[in-house]
């Protein structure tokens, strides 16, 4: 388990997942496994052999209009709800309130005091 405060996960947010998978597959030798999402959006796990190395998230909805394709990082936190409350008290803004992803963890998106967005995640312990 990754410790509190350490980078935990990275994902590519893109509109062209197939093109990205071709690129990273050829560049790094990654393979990809589709992970069903309740929202119906596509998500792919990037693997190097059996090791998980990241994810690819598609941005099909209008919620992502104007947002360029980018890599996005998540930091592990020990108690996301407690840590989000602390961050807000320090001047952060919650971009997306904490939500659960089955068998993965509890996630939120936080904008720090300088305006940088970062995913915060309490990984599933099972």
Region for 54 from its dihedrals, namely left if φ exceeds 0, alpha if ψ lies in -120 to 50, beta otherwise:
left
User: Is 33:98 a contact under the CB 8 Å cutoff?
Assistant: no
Q: What is the pTM of this model?
A: 0.86
Bridge partners of residue 71, in order along the sequence = 12
pLDDT tens across the length of the chain (126 residues): 578 999 999 999 999 999 999 999 999 999 999 987 777 677 999 999 999 999 999 988 788 888 899 999 999 999 999 999 999 999 999 999 999 988 889 999 999 999 999 999 999 876
pLDDT at residue number 25: 97
pLDDT at residue number 125: 78
pLDDT at residue number 64: 83
Domains delineated in the chain: 9-60 (3.10.180.10), 77-126 (3.10.180.10)
Could you tell me where the beta strands, DSSP code E, fall in the chain? 7-14, 31-34, 43-48, 51-58, 70-76, 93-101, 105-111, 117-123
């Amino acid at each position: 388990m990754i410790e509190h405060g350490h980078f935990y996960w990275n994902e590519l947010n893109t509109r062209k997942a197939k093109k990205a998978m071709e690129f990273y597959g050829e560049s790094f030798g990654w393979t990809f496994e589709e992970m069903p999402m309740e929202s119906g959006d596509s998500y792919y796990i990037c693997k190097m052999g059996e090791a998980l190395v990241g994810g690819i998230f598609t941005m099909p909805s209008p919620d992502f209009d104007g947002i360029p394709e980018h890599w996005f990082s998540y930091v592990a936190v020990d108690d996301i709800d407690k840590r989000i409350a602390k961050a807000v008290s320090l001047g952060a803004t919650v971009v997306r309130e904490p939500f659960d992803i089955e068998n993965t963890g509890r996630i939120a998106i936080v904008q720090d005091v300088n305006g940088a967005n970062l995913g915060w995640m309490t990984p599933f312990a099972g």
